[in-house]
Chain A
Amino acid sequence: MSDGKVTLTINGHDVEAEENRLLIDVAEELGVYVPRFCYHPGMKSVAVCRMCLVKVEGSRKLLPACATPVTDGMVVDTVDEEAVDAQEGMLEFLLINHPLDCPICDRAGECPLQDQTYKHGPGSSRYIEPKRTYEKALEISDLVVLDRERCVLCWRCVRFSEEIAGDAFIQLIDRGAGTQVLTFKDDPFDSYFSGNTIQICPVGALLSKPYRFVSRPWDLTSAPSVCSYCAVGCPLTNEARAEKVVRCQALPNENVNDFWVCDKGRFGYHYVSSEERLASPLVRTDADEFEATSWGRALDVVTGRLRTARRIGIIAGAHLTTEDAYAVSKLAKKTLRTSDVDSRLQDAGAPYERAAALSGVAGSTATLNDLESARTIVWVGPDPKEVLPVLYLRLRKSVLEEGAKLIVVSPRRISLDAIATHVIRCDVGGEAEAVDGLTWGFDTAVAGDVGDPLVVCWGPSSPGRDEGPIVDAVVALARNKNAKLLVCPPHAGSQGMIDMGVHPSLDPGYTPSDSRGKDTRGILQAAAAGELDILLLIGADPVADFPDGGLVARAFGSGVFTVAVELFPTESVAHADVVFPSAAYAEREGTFTNLERRIQKLEPLTAPPGSASEPWRICSRIAHGLGDDWGWAGFNDVWTEIRATVPTHAHVDLTWAGQESRPLSLHYESPFQPDPTHGRSVSAGPGAGYPKGHRSGAPFHTGQNWPLSWELRGFEARQRPGIIPSRPPEPPAGDDPVSPAPAPGAPAGDDAALRLIPRTDTPAGGDASLRSGTPLSSAFASEASPSSAKGWSRTGGEDGDSPEVKAGKSGVPERSGESSPAATWHSVEDEFPSFSEGRRSFVLYTGRLLYDEGAMVSKTVALKSLARRPFVELNEEDAKELGLSEGDEALVGGNGVRATLEVRLGDIARGAVFIPYDQPGWRANSIIRGVNPVVEVRHP
């Protein structure tokens, strides 16, 4: 047919389908489930298991449905006697060598081999000879256990690790009669995505080491959730046994994660049930010790302090949910009437608000799906494989499968270099110049590949440096090339924080604050100077995270009264005077807003320890203690208020009903599909032989106690696509679309400054006071008229801007004092009295690795052991000048601190060193003082 559609007949039913789709998918959407082992909708077909053989009229032989595209006029019978005979035969063959050790197999009860044997198998085997045996249960990594005897050679794990992850460390070897799945010698299965092979294994051959022998699937309760680590926000199911989270699996959502999740997300749940969790409020006694106390008393202490405090700073962590963010924002800006609130710790130098200059959204205008339709992708940021692993998979897919061109701008080799069309290796801080080159076509060889549709990705890469010029360049590129922008903040809650106004210059919904408050650095500086009466840390651990160890030490050394809301007794908590225990992501309702601003919901599964509570509730109770009753009894009350007061979120519907979302094009398993053939006879249709209400076509419910193959959970994922809130209207065409970015470092006049996009209309309840073309800097200044339907405008209690943080002429905040590298350098001089030949100063370019010493990872035993020891990466030439070579130890110093680190030679810009930010035993922030830090490296 001309419209790309074909009509075919499956089991007597006429179906219209798009050309070139696979028969197995089309049949499934009709409600006809063809058994399969090797086929997986997230990967290419290989047709090796031969389980999906069906009869096609006109074909001499049976055809594998997973490798047969539908054609016009095709007549298919999946339940033909010949096809059923072949399917039964295949299963009998697969079971020849499969040990029937289901009673001790983790997979039993949710095993595709078990299920399909039950449904499509012969019932008994004629095979009586000995089965093949192997050494049992090889631990091929710290996370994955391999039982080769159970393997049915479906290639799924091999294909996943080659095709999807690009880490081909598990293979079928000794191919032939003795084929077995194995890694190379004693090499570990060293992939950040290895856990996915466990989930897609159709038998119990690949097993999760932390979950092994922990539970039977029918003893698990489960709840859909969202990963609490990075900003990609992969949907997950958490599963618990006896009120303890014991497993976590990916939920498929083709808009977000396809079918995958990284190992940090999959195995990083242990912290929830850690013994170290805080379980009751703590108050510091006169004897300087923590004492467990009641909520009432702890709240009294805090509210008593807050009543008299004039100078309040609030730092929130980026692992909080969107509701928490709203509560923090409301507590700060409405109840306490301060804009001194920020959520940026590791990304302290990232001015997300400047992205609003593009379209009014302080965040992404692109979605993850836009990556796949892009012709060119520009990446300016950290290594996504380390920071946003599933985004790396999406980028990889866009480049390798969809043919997008990828331009990587980075001072250091990152994982994307291997698949990039162009790699621009710039100096640290030279990213802005490189991006300008793309904007204005200086480098014609590279700029020539900048094509439409274009997605420009930016994420804050090196904690401790000012990303401002880079953001300006990226925004200018996006504006000039009419590109979409993907802003990649680091953590699960980062975007929600910005959306909800936990930001010194943005109120909820990206409306500019009436006055610019102090950012994280400003708050800590005020604390260090003794100019802060009370510091609230809500899920924030500046001691570990803030990229200026010296400032943090002085801030807490000042003895500022500190209140902490936390999961764990972190190092920051140790400085607190009052501590409230916080509920973790698996213990609460909530939403996370991911980097494409998609809101996805968390459901509670287990009870929090002791009296731990959600941060929004704690904020509400503090406000109540101050006489400001928010009237929130539950999660829905918070959202009712968010919908009413945050214009961008007015239409967010947490039931997810009625959303417009593309359905998954590939439905993994059909039993939950409405059966279009209902009432007619489809003899091998789904659900036959399964307990009613489970696989019979009725939807299942969260927490249902029934074993489910993970594939079946895909149904739930399809019901939970998340939602991307509407954003402010697009800029009118007349607004100079090609106004250049200010040259890096050069002061920009008002005419050249980035402009906020004017509102064409005034959403109810929103601040809409910006004039067209108002330069960003003045928009943040208090001259903007403080109209506010929310009543959040400050009428008093202003402390004015921090003395250290001013809006400069160019609109770029200028920080005085210790921000200059020179100042940092001088402090190091004192620590290194001997001036040896090989001494040199380097720009510090740091970045996080996937497994680090973060509070959550380090409380997760399985992942803690994987974290690498800290090292210093140097350019080969620089190392030669210093007399250092690979594996040597080097002395690294800065901020009055020195450390001995192992040297690695790497592809990094000269004059720069890379040190991972937070690895076991040593934190890089301890050698950072000020912005854009410089460190010294020398031979020990």
Chain B
Amino acid sequence: MTRRYQATGGDIDEQNGYRNVFDDEQQAWADAIVAKYPNPRSAVLPLLFLVQSVEGYVTEDGMRTVANMIGLTPAQILASGSFYTMLKKQPQGEYLISVCRNISCTHRGAYDVIQALSERLGTDAGNTTADGRFTFETAECLATCDGAPSIQINYDDFYDVTPQDAVALVDKLERGEEVRSAAGERVRTVREISFETATAGARLPGTAGDHRARTVGGEAQPSDFLPDSRPKLSHDEGSHSG
């Protein structure tokens, strides 16, 4: 592989054409994010989340857009962004389902959940469904061993999940119904949570005093996966083969 090019001495603008991924409103948010920091380069992570909220994942054009905004090279953006697993470098489903397969969860049937999800989604762990709605991955410890087997959908926790529970969750999300996590938060799409992460603490010009705060899902409502109900012995019976 040879990369043919004309040397410009590092003039990025001349070397690479790219598509600016932000529309006007998104650009206003991007500017508001940059304005939060004394040095523009500090805004690299929230801007990458903003890219993810727009593009669904961190695209090449997105990284170039950010690089150009804050005066870094695309390579520097990639170097920072590639460290963080929540910034996705590959196309990603709307919902990321992470199943813990660490020791507690495995003991309590995590692999049954994994198998059930594989069959339901028609794909092995680590992949995205053909319709682009779900990405399914196995995860190391999610730090909720008392709720094993535990899964996360877009980083919201679900405890004591049976294979049937997992399949039911997928069914509900696929139908567009509301799903609430163990904490009672409405599960939102990758784009939604990326936007919320990106714009936390930022404020659009003209919206006096209205800093966006991370709302953590808003008002909690009853959930099938309430933390105060764990361990839900009823789920244990029959569903876990041990």
Residues of A whose CB lies within 8 Å of any CB of B are 138-142, 158, 162, 165-176, 182-188, 190-192, 263, 385-386, 415, 850-851, 865-869, 904
Question: In the complex where A168-B73, A185-B60 touch, is A190 in contact with B5 (Cβ < 8 A)?
Answer: yes
CB-contact partner of B3 in A166, A168, A186, under 8 A: A186
Query: For the complex, what is the distance from the CA of A140 to the CA of B9, rounded to whole Å?
Result: 15
Chain B positions 72-86 with a Cβ under 8 Å from a chain A Cβ: 72-79, 82-83
Q: Are B16 and A142 touching (Cβ within 8 A)?
A: no
Question: In the complex where A191-B9, A191-B10 touch, is A141 in contact with B75 (Cβ < 8 A)?
Answer: no
**Complex: chain B residue closest to A135, CB-CB:** B1
User: Is B207 part of the contact surface with A, judged by Cβ < 8 Å?
Assistant: no
Question: In the complex where A139-B1, A172-B79, A173-B79 touch, is A166 in contact with B7 (Cβ < 8 A)?
Answer: no
Query: For the complex, what is the distance from the CA of A865 to the CA of B82, rounded to whole Å?
Result: 33
Chain B positions 81-96 with a Cβ under 8 Å from a chain A Cβ: 82-83
Query: For the complex, what is the distance from the CA of A904 to the CA of B83, rounded to whole Å?
Result: 37
User: Is B175 part of the contact surface with A, judged by Cβ < 8 Å?
Assistant: no
CB-contact partner of B63 in A182, A184, A850, under 8 A: A184
Chain B positions 1-59 with a Cβ under 8 Å from a chain A Cβ: 1-10, 14-16
Q: Are B75 and A184 touching (Cβ within 8 A)?
A: yes
Residues of B within 8 A of A185 (CB): 60, 74, 78
Q: Are B9 and A385 touching (Cβ within 8 A)?
A: yes
Q: Are A192 and B10 touching (Cβ within 8 A)?
A: yes
Query: For the complex, what is the distance from the CA of A414 to the CA of B115, rounded to whole Å?
Result: 61
Could you list 19 examples of A-B contacts with CB < 8 Å?
A140-B3, A167-B9, A167-B10, A171-B75, A172-B79, A173-B82, A174-B83, A175-B79, A175-B82, A184-B63, A184-B74, A184-B75, A185-B74, A187-B16, A187-B75, A192-B9, A192-B10, A850-B7, A851-B7
Residues of B within 8 A of A165 (CB): 10
Known: A168-B75, A175-B82. 11 other contacts (CB 8 A): A138-B1, A139-B3, A142-B5, A167-B10, A172-B79, A173-B82, A184-B63, A187-B74, A190-B9, A190-B10, A386-B9
Chain A min CB distance to B86 (Å): 14
Query: For the complex, what is the distance from the CA of A193 to the CA of B201, rounded to whole Å?
Result: 40
Residue in B1, B63, B75 whose Cβ sees the most chain A Cβ within 10 Å: B75
Chain B min CB distance to A867 (Å): 7
Q: Are B5 and A141 touching (Cβ within 8 A)?
A: yes
Pairs of residues from A and B, 5 with the lowest C-beta to C-beta distance, nearest first:
A167-B10, A171-B79, A866-B7, A184-B74, A184-B75
Residues of A within 8 A of B82 (CB): 173-175
Query: For the complex, what is the distance from the CA of A190 to the CA of B63, rounded to whole Å?
Result: 18
Question: In the complex where A139-B1, A140-B3 touch, is A166 in contact with B75 (Cβ < 8 A)?
Answer: no
Query: For the complex, what is the distance from the CA of A141 to the CA of B2, rounded to whole Å?
Result: 7
Chain B min CB distance to A403 (Å): 18
Contact code string B56-73 (vs A, CB < 8 Å = 1, else 0): 000010010000000011
Interface size on B, residues (CB 8 A): 25
CB-contact partner of B83 in A158, A176, A182, A415, under 8 A: A176
Residues of A within 8 A of B1 (CB): 138-139
Q: Are B78 and A173 touching (Cβ within 8 A)?
A: yes
Query: For the complex, what is the distance from the CA of A904 to the CA of B6, rounded to whole Å?
Result: 15
Q: Are B83 and A184 touching (Cβ within 8 A)?
A: no
Contact residues of B: prevailing secondary structure: loop
Query: For the complex, what is the distance from the CA of A138 to the CA of B15, rounded to whole Å?
Result: 19
Query: For the complex, what is the distance from the CA of A166 to the CA of B73, rounded to whole Å?
Result: 10
Q: Are A142 and B4 touching (Cβ within 8 A)?
A: yes
Residues of B within 8 A of A868 (CB): 6-8
Residues of A within 8 A of B74 (CB): 184-185, 187
CB-contact partner of A175 in B5, B60, B73, B83, under 8 A: B83
Query: For the complex, what is the distance from the CA of A185 to the CA of B78, rounded to whole Å?
Result: 9
Query: For the complex, what is the distance from the CA of A187 to the CA of B13, rounded to whole Å?
Result: 12
Query: For the complex, what is the distance from the CA of A182 to the CA of B2, rounded to whole Å?
Result: 15
Chain A min CB distance to B69 (Å): 16
Question: In the complex where A170-B75, A175-B82, A184-B74 touch, is A865 in contact with B4 (Cβ < 8 A)?
Answer: yes
Residue in A168, A184, A415, A866 whose Cβ sees the most chain B Cβ within 10 Å: A184
Query: For the complex, what is the distance from the CA of A175 to the CA of B87, rounded to whole Å?
Result: 13
Residue in A174, A186, A188, A190 whose Cβ sees the most chain B Cβ within 10 Å: A190
Residue in B3, B15, B16, B63 whose Cβ sees the most chain A Cβ within 10 Å: B3
Query: For the complex, what is the distance from the CA of A175 to the CA of B85, rounded to whole Å?
Result: 11
CB-contact partner of B73 in A138, A140, A184, A192, under 8 A: A184
Q: Are B3 and A869 touching (Cβ within 8 A)?
A: no
Residues of B within 8 A of A141 (CB): 3, 5
Query: For the complex, what is the distance from the CA of A15 to the CA of B19, rounded to whole Å?
Result: 59
Query: For the complex, what is the distance from the CA of A182 to the CA of B77, rounded to whole Å?
Result: 12
Residues of B within 8 A of A175 (CB): 79, 82-83
Residues of B within 8 A of A174 (CB): 82-83
Chain B min CB distance to A871 (Å): 10
Query: For the complex, what is the distance from the CA of A166 to the CA of B7, rounded to whole Å?
Result: 15
Q: Are B79 and A188 touching (Cβ within 8 A)?
A: no
**Complex: chain A residue closest to B64, CB-CB:** A184
Q: Are A168 and B76 touching (Cβ within 8 A)?
A: yes
Query: For the complex, what is the distance from the CA of A440 to the CA of B111, rounded to whole Å?
Result: 81
Question: In the complex where A138-B1, A168-B72, A185-B60 touch, is A192 in contact with B7 (Cβ < 8 A)?
Answer: yes
Query: For the complex, what is the distance from the CA of A171 to the CA of B73, rounded to whole Å?
Result: 10
**Complex: chain A residue closest to B14, CB-CB:** A904
Q: Are B10 and A142 touching (Cβ within 8 A)?
A: no
**Complex: chain B residue closest to A174, CB-CB:** B82
Q: Are A415 and B2 touching (Cβ within 8 A)?
A: no
Q: Are B8 and A139 touching (Cβ within 8 A)?
A: no
Query: For the complex, what is the distance from the CA of A142 to the CA of B6, rounded to whole Å?
Result: 9
Query: For the complex, what is the distance from the CA of A477 to the CA of B75, rounded to whole Å?
Result: 42
Q: Are B6 and A867 touching (Cβ within 8 A)?
A: yes
Query: For the complex, what is the distance from the CA of A176 to the CA of B84, rounded to whole Å?
Result: 10
Q: Are B3 and A171 touching (Cβ within 8 A)?
A: no
Residues of A within 8 A of B7 (CB): 190, 192, 263, 850-851, 866-868
Query: For the complex, what is the distance from the CA of A166 to the CA of B72, rounded to whole Å?
Result: 10
**Complex: chain A residue closest to B9, CB-CB:** A192
Query: For the complex, what is the distance from the CA of A182 to the CA of B14, rounded to whole Å?
Result: 21
CB-contact partner of B10 in A138, A169, A184, A904, under 8 A: A169
**Complex: chain B residue closest to A868, CB-CB:** B6
Residue in A141, A187, A415 whose Cβ sees the most chain B Cβ within 10 Å: A187
Question: In the complex where A168-B73, A187-B16 touch, is A850 in contact with B79 (Cβ < 8 A)?
Answer: no
**Complex: chain B residue closest to A386, CB-CB:** B9
Chain A min CB distance to B80 (Å): 9
Contact code string B152-180 (vs A, CB < 8 Å = 1, else 0): 00000000000000000000000000000
Q: Are B76 and A171 touching (Cβ within 8 A)?
A: yes
Q: Are B75 and A188 touching (Cβ within 8 A)?
A: no
Query: For the complex, what is the distance from the CA of A142 to the CA of B83, rounded to whole Å?
Result: 29
Residues of B within 8 A of A867 (CB): 6-7
Chain A min CB distance to B191 (Å): 23
Chain B min CB distance to A928 (Å): 24
Residues of A within 8 A of B15 (CB): 187-188, 190
Q: Are A183 and B6 touching (Cβ within 8 A)?
A: no
**Complex: chain B residue closest to A137, CB-CB:** B1
Query: For the complex, what is the distance from the CA of A191 to the CA of B10, rounded to whole Å?
Result: 5
Chain A min CB distance to B77 (Å): 8
Question: In the complex where A173-B82, A175-B82 touch, is A415 in contact with B9 (Cβ < 8 A)?
Answer: yes
Residues of B within 8 A of A171 (CB): 75-76, 78-79
Query: For the complex, what is the distance from the CA of A162 to the CA of B10, rounded to whole Å?
Result: 12
Residues of A within 8 A of B63 (CB): 184
Query: For the complex, what is the distance from the CA of A170 to the CA of B74, rounded to whole Å?
Result: 10
Query: For the complex, what is the distance from the CA of A851 to the CA of B7, rounded to whole Å?
Result: 8
Residue in B63, B77, B79 whose Cβ sees the most chain A Cβ within 10 Å: B79
Chain A min CB distance to B136 (Å): 22
Query: For the complex, what is the distance from the CA of A184 to the CA of B16, rounded to whole Å?
Result: 11
Query: For the complex, what is the distance from the CA of A165 to the CA of B15, rounded to whole Å?
Result: 17
Residues of B within 8 A of A169 (CB): 10, 73, 75
**Complex: chain A residue closest to B16, CB-CB:** A187
Query: For the complex, what is the distance from the CA of A182 to the CA of B6, rounded to whole Å?
Result: 20
Residues of A within 8 A of B83 (CB): 174-176
Query: For the complex, what is the distance from the CA of A170 to the CA of B7, rounded to whole Å?
Result: 15
**Complex: chain A residue closest to B17, CB-CB:** A887
